[in-house]
Structure formats: structure tokens, C-alpha cells
Structure 1
Amino acid sequence: MKLGSDGHLRVYELDSHEWKEVVDLFEGYVRDCAYPTFCRQHGICSNGQCNCLASSERTSYFRQIDDRWPNLTCFEKVPLSCDAQAQDYDYPTAPLSTRWMINDPIAPLTIHGDGSMGQAILLQGKEAFAPAYACGFYCNGNYNSYFFAVFIIQLDNNGWINENSIPQVVWSTNRNNPVEIGATLELTSKGDLVLKDANGTVAWSTNTSTKSVVGLNLTDLGNLVLFDKDNTIVWQSFDHPTDSLVLGQKLRQGQKLTASASKTNRTFNGTISLSVNDNVLSAQVETNPPQIYFERGFPDLNTSAKLSYFEFENGSLSWFSDSTSSGSLISVPPASSTQYMKLGSDGHLRVYGFTYSYGWKEVADLFKGYVGDCAYPTVCGQYGICSNGQCSCPTLSGRESYFKLVEHRQPNLGCSENVPLSCEASKHQSLLELENITYFSLTPDLEKIDASSCKEACTKNCSCKAAIFHYGSNRTSGHCYLPTQVFSLMYIDNERITYYSIAYLKVQNVQRSHRLPIILGSSLGALFIIAIFVLAIVLFVQRRDDNQAEEDYLDQVPGMSTRFTYDDLKTITNEFGKKLGEGGFGSVFEGTLSNGNKVAVKRLDGFGQVKKSFLAEVETIGSIHHVNLVRLVGFCAEKSHRLLVYEYMSNGSLDRWIFHKSNECILDWQQRKKIILDIAKGLNYLHEDCRQKIIHLDIKPQNILLDGNFNAKVADFGLSKLIDRDQSHVVTTMRGTPGYLAPEWLRAAITEKVDVYSFGVVILEIVCGRKIFDRSLDEESMDLLSLFKKNAKEERLLDIVDKSSDDMQLNKLHAVNMMRVAAWCLQGDYIKRPSMSMVIKALEGIIEVQEDLDYDFFAQPSTSGAAGSSPMYIEVSATTALLPSVLSGPR
């Protein structure tokens, strides 16, 4: 007999080596709702159902800790404080002595649709299905690197944060000093708002302890304020903008927006800013002097008027002067819901708006029409030259190259010097002259000099990296600019621009001996012998050091957080003792990291076969993070050993749950529907949102993994063949799994639509609960696609819904609608198949599936792209505005 933690008194009996409950002694005496912990703290029990305490007249003060498990508990949105000085406050106000901690149970972390994580401590907004402002802790994927921020989130039908929404950060504090799990934010009894890291180090503070603060509030404009007893603002986040403005926010004289380092890295290096100074709104690179690429002032209506501030209003970015005059500086599309403005890491000032159909979308680029594509300072990176939107490195025919691309597949990342500049070797420096090359869109108002004086000034100044000389009809007089850091250069079309420009780039010459190689020149025979000898040595060294060279290369791969040794992985996997599965490139083993987290370790077999594929996977996939893609945790490249470490998916692959191989529970309709949507989102990210398009080429249930909550993630999208941006096609051997291959594999262009076809097959397998080929069935039912076609023609699709699930039978009509989505994806002509973004909209009910579907799924495409007579070699073409792709092999 045992008294359980839930208050029940149960009797257990040993039966065949297993303890089973025999009787609950309180049953019949105590009802479900009468147990003290049935709905935990603050929970209300009614007919066995748990809810949180709420009031229809005032704001709800409590919410469930997990909406999926209402019996866990409810918590206070604002915790009670005996030391609170402001007792009569309403959410979202917090009194003095309030303290929050990252991962504190009273305000749990929420994982959003993009993999970001937030913990809202104050929320402003109560309307269901509407955007609202929240402030709290936020991270964008690195779950041990948090900012205190204000972000816009989407509310669900209950007025709480929608987990699938993507939070939009509009203000943050510690951008260059993130904190870890366990960090705390406290509004102290002295009125100072302090952010402390887990080790107690102060990461940020408002320094308001002497200003009589009595509380913290988040306004309906998204402004975080500290106020005194007279409700006067003592400190506000609007006075300290970061990279964004929200509707109603002002940018005043002396204030500026500073762009983040990148789209995914919220830290900033102070490179690009937007500021208000001297009656002018200007965007610039923060060098000395600043390099301005956008500049606009307000109309001079009154010579004595001064610009007071710019304000982001609904419909415009407006200016206001101290003489009460005002006007629109730049028009903005009017907002039907919520908007915000953000200075991007690329120098663009964009406005984003929220719509209920498509979520957050860019609605305007405010510099468009004022700044050309090539005039942004970082469009081609350092030393890159932009011409008609294309990036290249400085070159001069007949001379040696002094610059090289940082990354050949991404010319926009810029160029680096082959030989770095050195003040100690200044006598070996020269100026590389480039005609018709200018710098940014605006010419600084500098004193006029001639070209030779401009060059001489740069030569004598060690910190000068280039001399940019602008001139009119001749070079005798012009403006000279001497940047100490060279960002993107711009090619001038002299037919449309009335001025001329020359760029003199300072370069470091390679020192050479002036003595001729007399010995080599004296004998052609000796030269031949030496060449043969050198070639033999090179081949030997290359063969011997090939593995080491690859390892050295991998040390430069960005985004890889962990590199394991082979001994580490032997320990982690217990000498590769537990095999989880086996694929075309190797076997997968279960492992456990030192912190207790499980991982899946893929050991790649056949070193010669997978070397390049391994490099591609590590380099391409290591930086890709999406909630519906299996994450690459780390890798091992040691001698001939090549291993990949992935996150562990506790429920294994999808095939074990839909093909009924075991007695495990059968998935219900809602679970299957969610899995289908998860797969679609993962594929859409690979096809449309990655820096490089990735075509999977082997979508099947075995390559769809499920976590503990049955969230689906696409796996094995890495071992790939890359298509560079300047390539139109690539020839590759046929790959994939029979039954999932699109018909165009035989003689047509291969695009991402082959994945759409395979996805359609997987939908059918999920809904019907059977394999695409099942030889255990009669000949008529063996092929699922043929059966699907036959039953569709006879209007008997209800007959092929999974009969092993009662829930699926109850949802037959929904299942048939899902089959129509599958049929759309399975169109024999790949041009008629939808993109994965269109599939997602169909699954979410935003659009309808087209009516004129062809159920002859084996029909050949209407266009041909055959690469030869042999069906085993196919031309993979970048058709109809397709971006470059990564082709991934089967496992």
C-alpha cells in the first residue's frame, strides 16, 4: 500500500515480475476534484477539468505553465512581493523588489516557430489573434545566450503568446554582453533595473537608484518605462533605441539606430548607423570621418527653425521642428495592424508589417529610390567592387592580382589582400589605379586638390588604405577622400553621371630577388629533371598529408560549435555499442554527452567515397538551424575517421509509427496532420530560406525523425553536391529510393519539385498507414499510387484511409482532403506541382488546392531537359528563377 504524491492511497501486487495497481482505496470516497494537488497551485477543478483562476471584469492574473497539460499548475503573471511599494497596480506593471530569472517556473520559456526562445515577464495587449508587445528574456537559437529585450509577438485565441509565431525584437539591452540560463533581472528596492548574469556579474543597469522610481511598466506603444510616484517617466527604452523604431516612436537629435552584426547575430560592431544631426537624417558607416551613403534633411520652411525629431507614423517617416512645423520625409505603406522599422546589417532601412494570412513581411525599403543597389557600404564587403548588383575583386589586366574573394561561392562577402599591408614595409607599397571606381553615393564636401596630391597624401599616411579622387572635366582639380577602411567600391557609368572618379588602392608588393635563376636557365635538361623530381615529391606529400589538409580546412568552417576527437566519440557511444540504424553512407549509433544529453553519431564508411560529401555536410549544414530540421551538433575529422554528431530524436523515424511494425501506439489524425505540416516547413526552409537552396532527393518516412513530443524533423539532407551561384546545371547520377522518385528523373530537368513529389508519396503513406509498395497485399492493392488513382476515379478514397486507427476512421473526410494535397504534389508534370510554401498555405487553409488535378502521376513532364541518351545521367537545371541548390544523396 502506498500514499502517492497525488494524494491517492493505492494497493499494488506483484504479477509475473511486474508490480500492478490492484485498487485505489479512496475511490468512491474522494472525487477527482477533491484531491488537493489535482490541479496544483492556483488551479480550479470542475468536472475533472483544470483551469486557471480568471475574472471576466479584470485582467487575468494567472496562466497555465503548459497549455498542453492543464493539470500541471498555474502561476502568477506578476509574483506577489511583500516589499512592493505600489500595491494597486495592474498588469503589465511591476513594483519595486520584483525579480525574474531565466527559466524560472513562474515565467517559463517559450520556444517559437523559428527555434528562437523567449520568456515574457510583462505583456501589453489582450486581443486574441493580434500582435502585442512583451518584454523579457530572448535568444535566437543559442539557448545559453540571452538578451533582455522588448519584442512583438502574436497572441493566440486565449490572448496568450502563440508558440508558432516569430517574435520580432525591437529593442534590447545587452546586445554585446549576453547572459546565460540562471541570469536575473531585478527592479531593486532603490529603483534600479539591474540585469545580472548567472555568476552575479552586472550585465546592464538603468542606473536610476537615486531617482525615486516606484515601478516598471510596458506601454501600449512598446516603450519600457520606469516611473515615479507622480507617474512621471524617469527612464524609458525609447531614449535608448537599438536598431528599430516602432509606430509612435521618435528618433531625436543625437540619437541613432545601430545595425546588428548580421541577421542572426544581434550583437553589433558599430559599423552602420542611422542618426539625426544638424537637421539631417543620415545613414553612414561609423569611420573617422563617417562615410555617408544616405542623407536627407527637412524642408527649410523657416531659417530659424531647427529639426526636433523624426517620428515613425502610420503612413510616413515624418519630421517635426521646434517651430511646430512638420511634414512627411519618406512615405510608408499604411499599416492595417502593427509595423516596425529596422536598420539591417546590410544598411537597408526596412519596414515590416503583420498580416494574419502571411505573418511578418517586408512592406517597404525606405532607402529605395535614394540609394542605388551598389551604393550600400557592405553590399560587396571589404574591397569588393559592385557593378550592376554583381560583386568582384579589384583587378588590373597585365598586372598580378592583389586581391582574392573571401568565399568563392559568396562574392558579396568581399575580398581580402593576398599580401596584408604593413607599415614596416611601406617602401614596398604601391597604389593600384582603377578607373571609373567611386566610393558610396555621396561625395564629402572636401577641399579641392589635384590627383597627384591625393595619391601622395595616401602614400604618406600609414593608416590610409585608399585614395578616392572625384573630378570634373579634368584631373587638375577634384575632391580627395582617404578612407582608413575600404568597404564596397562602386563602378561608375559615365554616360549617366557627370563626374569622374578614380580609386587608388594601396597594395603591398611581394618582395622578389633581382637575381635571375642562372642555374635553371643554363640547362633545359637540368630543368626537366628538377621538374620530374618536384612532381614526384608533390604527389607523395599530397597523398601523405591529404587527411591533415582536410582537417586544417575544417578548422576554418564557421558555425560548428563542437569538434570531437575519435576517442571522445568512442567514449560517448560506449565503443559504438548501440546501433540505431544503417544507411547508404554508414551506420548511426546512440551516444550520451558528458552533460547527459543523448546524441546520434553517424559513422561514415568508405573514406574515399564520402570525403567531399563530408566536407559539404559540415560546411553547409553546420550553420543551418530550423525547428523542423535535425540539427548537426558537431563532427569528427581525425585521420581516416569521419563522423557526424546529430541531436537525438527519441521517437525514431516516422516509418515505425505509420507502418505498424510494433505494438506501439498508433498516431491519431491530429498527430499525423501536425507531422505532415512539420515536414513541409522543413522542406520549405531547405528550398526557399537557406542561403543556398538544398534539394533533399530522398524524402521518405525513414528520413523523417520524431522527437519526444512527435514533432517531425527532416534528416539526412547534408551529404550533398553543391551547385554554385554561377552554375546553371550539374550532371549527377540518379539517386533516391524507388517509389519516391519523380517521373522526370527519366529524362527531364531536376529541380526541387522532385522533393515535392516524394512529399506527396509520404502524405499518402501517413494517411493510409501503409508503404508505397506492399507485396503482402494482393496484386491490385500492392502499388499505393495505382490504388490511389483507381479509387480517386471511382470516388472511393474513403476506402484507403488507415483502417487500423479508429480516430483516422472518424476523420475520414479530413484525410481525403489531405489526399488532395498529396495529389497536387504528385502531378506528373513537375511544372504543375506547387512549391512547398504553397503546400504550407494549403495545409493551413489559406489557399485551396487546385481543382483540375491529373491522377496519372506517372505521366512525363511537358518539357524535356535530357542530358543524353543514358537514363542514368540527368541534367539538374536551375529552372524558372530557381536559386542555386545543394543536392543531397540518399542514406
Structure 2
Amino acid sequence: MDAKTKRSLVLLLCLCLHLNTHVCLAADTIAANQSLSGDQTIVSAGKVFELGFFKPGNSSNYYIGMWYSKQLVSLETIVWVANRETPVSDRFSSVLRISYGNLVLFNVSNTPIWSTNLASTTTSGSAQAVLLDSGNLVLRTAGSNANTSEPLWQSFDHPAHTWLPGARIGFNTVTSQTLILTSWKSSEDPAPGLFTLGLFTLELDPNGSNAYLILWNRSTPYWNSGSWDAKSRIFSGSPEMRLNYIHNFSYVTNKNESYFTYSLYDPKKIFRFVMHSSGQIQQLSWLEISSQWNLFWNQPRKQCGVYNLCGAFGSCNEVSTVSCNCLTGFEPKLQRDWNLQAYSGGCKRKTPLHCDNATSADGKQDQFLKMAMLLPENMQSVSVYTFPECESICLNSCSCTAYAYDSSGCSIWIGDLFNLQQFTSSDSQGTTLYLRLAASEFKSPKSNKGLIIGVVAGSAAGIAILLGLIVVVILRQRKRVTGTGKAVEGSLVAFGYRDLQDATKNFSEKLGGGGFGSVFKGTLPDSSVIAVKKLESVSQGEKQFRTEVSIIGTIQHVNLVRLRGFCSEAKKRMLVYDYMPNGSLDSHLFHDMRPNVLDWKTRYQIALGTARGLAYLHEKCRDCIIHCDIKPENILLDTELGPKVADFGLAKLVRREFSRVLTTMRGTRGYLAPEWISGVAITVKADVYSYGMMLFEFVSGRRNSEQSEDGKVRFFPSWAASQISTAEADVLSLLDPRLDGNADVQELTRTCRVACWCVQDDEAHRPSMGQVVQILEGISDVNLPPIPRSLQVLGDDQEHIIFFTESSSIQSSHQRSNNTSTASSQTKSTTSSTISKRSEEEHHINT
């Protein structure tokens, strides 16, 4: 080494010691003589996680936090925050360093505002902080073995809102320390919010089992996972865990601690659990191909299931793009929080009540606003016998804010109203609530002579124009619709809103409802009966509306529901179908009453007809159509119990030159193919998998994870696969017991084998729907396929499911199938995520 090089190295070393810059830190460690400030960060050895100062959203505050490295996850995703309640204003003047054996954050005044808080006499020189690839920040003695020695402190013992693989949720009986997830207050404030997820003992369980509970304000539970079943390795309230391809949950309990932890079957995948500020526990997976987080699972499933989500006088609405709205006469207490979707602060009155202020509303008495609501909690019953008496009691009490009167009597509410849920005017579940408001909130229309004259004159001038328009509309309608009300061949009828309002008698006869709205029965002037799907959430349902019109509106098949037309006026979106008098398949298949049980012959014909409809979508249309949500709820039955595939709101078009399509939306849990759950692009084989899962339900007559007659919760597909694989298989033992063994054994065997073949782990090993049709028609035969790993059982334990990743290879001693020889319904609607950009282009139509 020459003198020039030596001088350069010495100069660089001195500069580093003087400036204490990021490059002088060990990559993943803060040593005793080092500190972190400004834009400096440390990165775990495998470049998985990074730790440093960050600023959430538009906030002016800074925090010490941990996030996935940008090389791994391109979106900044915070998984842990140290100083949640004590932010700093200047990251360059604030320092994180080792001080007297603790990791301490000092603010601009050199005051410690956060610390690992160890009561230790360890000197600063013997401690160091290391960021691990697991996302665990550990404080340990310098030079100690990271694999064998216990850390002095670790962030995994102090979780924030994110649960990472390897971390624990539970409690320590010795230290009384609880390991819980606590939501952020809002997207710009990581301070502890109102919602927590923790492990608690179920007091009502005689065995003292443990379950996860979500609590509001750390006191009121509103969701629990059910008790842990160690044998089946699932929570009793989450049977969908039987189809878990991703996580391996473990429960550890001893005299010192009890906790749950989990690992990933495929460590290359990126998954996390988050206690979201919305009050829902969410499971998310990172989709690298689309650079976004995919919501894989959440509880409670409905946003309005979160306790007190909207605060006082706030109303929750499932079908609106905004979850919470203030009641009429109220406004948000903290508008900035509401803009960030943090609604817990609730609402305040715009105008004081007359009771509270005698000078308000010009001395006029308070009045009551009639609303259709899910009644709030904490009602008080009053012994009166008439509606006027009920109103009078509330009106004469200044503390009474609302009342209701129905067949059960009079109920009043004192003080603030909580847990309000809004219903639409067409929803039969709504109950009438009378809300107390100041008289000024009921504004009477003022007389305006000039305005009246103008209106009369304008009306007179426009009558001629209106009559002319009516004539034009009538003539155009005659051209577009035949006398029977059927669409002219090759086109759809564009119905007017008023026409459908008249046909459905103002949407009075409701058939059912779902995530996007409700379905109503109607009759056209030619006496033909229709079903009208009225989309309530236009912003979320617009893409579903366009998708369904563009797909089902351009194809015809005896086993596909027929779309007769649509309505698109202003913000009103409706779809008009042929009415199916027998409703959806699930209402027949899972019905407990014996007289309504579908016999085997009918079930087999429904299975065959459904397969024909799917084969047409996959193989006969100009563009391949993937339905994406095959389940009994989306199979409708006509007068003769003929099946019609319905609800194409999630469907995807795939041009013939492509074989796959990427979609961030999901179908229904329990019918999802493993490759879809892992976030990769899907093919038509995703529908094949869903169809196979549905076939198992055709056989058993119950949900796949439903409790059987012997009282056990058995995953039926696993049991069926194990039964048909035995040499002395008794397929009739798999049959719905309500059928008393009345079934064609050959058809039943064929159905079970096809179902097992359709749910193969590797999509390449599944049949096409065309092959399924040939087999069910008896044209081709099917050998016994290998049991998928997702359905395998261990020995005689028919309830223990092996969970696996989608990349797992299939190993079985059974002979594989030879390809040469084996050749929503109107009453329910599923919610969907946003459609990918390419799908929007492919689905776009001009309505």
C-alpha cells in the first residue's frame, strides 16, 4: 500500500468519526459508540428490514420505525414503531444510541423520550442493537452468540400493530406482560388506537380454552376467533383455516407463558397480520408483479361489525364508499380525523337543542326526525301503550335524544347514541328511530312569488317540448322492445329508471341482497317476470356493473343466466335478468327440511349443467371468460331446476393469445384455488378448482367445513378423498344422509373422482371443464386421481389437514390421470376488489 493510499484511508476514517454518518455504521447494528439520526438507517443482514426515522403521511412528526426494505417491498410499509406516543419534530437533531446498557432515543433537547428501559447495570460498551431478518430488533451483549444467548431486550416482546412471522401474541404469567397488537389512531398517527387483538381465556368455555379477541378501548370484545383445537390446528370460529396454504400456527403454553406464533411454509412469500385503524384484523400478502398489498383475509368481515366504529351520533353504512357518516343535524367533531378515516371521535350537533338552550331555534320546541336504522345499544324500556305517549316522554326529558315505538313497546335513549347502522329505504331490516333535533333543522320552504311565477311560466313553455319527448321515447321503445318485453336479438334493452320502478312496484318485493346492493322481483307490461339487481354503491359497483354487462350481455347459453337489459341513469345502476323462480342452489342444497332436499338425480343434472355452462365460458366464447366466483350461491335454478351460472361481477376476460390474467380481487373463501391465494396470475383452472370444491358439497349436502351429524367438524373433501382411495371404498357412506342411500353408485363414484381431480394442487394436473362434461356425460372415464396434499390426512386422523404452499410438488402412490383417456346469484352478491388496469381496458364498454 503506497503512502497516498494510506493517507486517503486515514482521512476517510477521521471524516467518518467526525461526522458519524450512516456509512460508518455496521449494516445491521448500532454499536455502543455509534448513533443513528437524520436519514441514517440500519438494514438487516439479508436486506429484509430497515430501521430509521420516518414521517407518516402528511404528518410533521417523526418516529423511529421499522419497514420492509425498498428492495423487497417498493411501498413504504411500517411494521413497528418505537416512540408511538412521543414523536420528535426534527430527525436531524434527534439521536438513537446506546446509553447505559439501553437503546435510547433523545430529542432535540437531548432529553430521553423513549428507551428499552432495562433495569440493568450493564455498561454502554457491552451492549449493541441488531436488526434481524425476522423483523426483530434485539439488544444484546456485544460479542454474544445471537443463536444461543437470550437477548437483553427485543422488539418482538413489544409489538405495535403488525404481527410478523416468528413473533408471538399471548401473555407472560410471571411478569404479567401481555403481547397484543394495537391499531394506529389513524394513517398519519401511529399512537395506540382504540382497537387491540390479544389472546384471552374464554370464560364461557368449560375447558378454559384460549382464543383471540378484538377489543374496543381494551374493554369491549366484538370478535373472537373461537377456541383453539390443537388436534385440527384451527380456531373453532375460523374453519377456513383448514384451507390454509400459507401459515403454520403453533400454540405454546407452560407455567411461565402462553402464546401463539406462526411461520410461513414458503419463506420467500411476504405476509403480515395488521390490527388496522379501521378495527379489523387484516391479513395481507405482497404482490410483486402489481407492486401492492393484497387483502387476503379480514375479521370482522363487515366493516360495520366493528364496535363503535363511527363514534357518537355516527352511522355506519356497508354499501357506501365512506364507512361512516354523521346523522342529519350533526357534523364531525374532528374533521381532519374523518378525512383520514378515523371516525371514533364521532359527531356533534350543528344546532343546540331547545332543551339545552331556551334561546335556540327561536324558542321553538325540538322535533324528531324519522330514520330507518339498526337500533343503537343502551336502550331503556318505558311502560306506555301508545305512540304519542312514547314521543311525549322523550320530548319532555332534556336528556332523551331518541325514541322508537314498535310491537315490543316504547324505547328511549339517554345521551349519546352509539353503534348506529344505516339501512337503505328498501331494506326490510331497518327499524324506525326518531332522532331529536333542534326545530331549525326542519326548515320550511319559504314563499317566493317571483320564483313561483317563473316556475309556472317555464312549465307552461316546456309542456309542448315534454309531450314531444314522450312521443319520441314511446316510438323508440316500440322499436327496441317486442310485445313480450324480450330484448331484440343481439342487443340489450336500456331500461329507464321509472320503468323499473313501476315494474318492481317501487322496489317493494325484495329477493335478497349483498355487498353491492339488493335484488327485487318485478313484472314488465307484457307480464314477463324479471329480477332487478339494484346497485347501491355506485363507486364500488361501477366496475362490477360494466363487467357484467360486457360479459353476460354478449353471450347466450342455456346454462348461463340471461341478462335482459340494464339501467344507467345519473348515479343509478341496475341490471335486469330473467327471473329464476327457484332461487339459488345453496337454498336447496343446504336446506335442513327433508321435503325440500334435492334428490341425487337432480343434483347430478345440476352439476352437469353447471359444467356445460363453464365449458362454454372457457372454450366456446370469442374471448375466454373466467368466472372467478363459482359457488352454490351463484348457481340459479329455473322452473325445472335447470342450473344457470350467474353473478359475473368478478369475471375476467382473457384473450385467446393469453393464457393467464392477473387480478387483485378474490372470490369466496373455501372455493379459492391455491395459486390464486398466493397472488400469481390465474387461468381457467381457478374455476375448475372452485367447481371441484362445489362438487363435494353436491355429494355431502352441506358446507365442506360444516359440522357433521356425529358432532365433529370434519373437512369433508379430505374425508371423501381418503374414502375413495381405499380398495373397499364405500362411496354411499359419503352421500348426504338425507337421501337414505338413494343414488346411482356409478354416478356418485364418477362425481367424487372428478371432484378430487378438479382440486389438484398443481393447476396443470386439473382437467378442463370440457373434459369434466365428457366424464359426467359418460363419454369418457376417469381413473382415480392422486389425493392432493391439501386433502391428505395423517394415518387414521381424518381431521388433521396438511397445509402446504402452492409450489409444493405432488407425491402419491396412486396412478395419475391419463389425459388421452380422461379426456351470486339473484339473492346474493359478493363484494369485489378493484379490477386490474388491463382488465379495465378489456372490460370497458360504453353504456
Query: Is TM > 0.5 for Structure 1 vs Structure 2?
Result: no
| Structure of greater relative contact order (alpha carbons < 8 Å, 6+ residues apart) | 2
Q: Which TM-score applies when normalising by structure 1?
A: 0.33
TM-score normalized with structure 2 length: 0.35
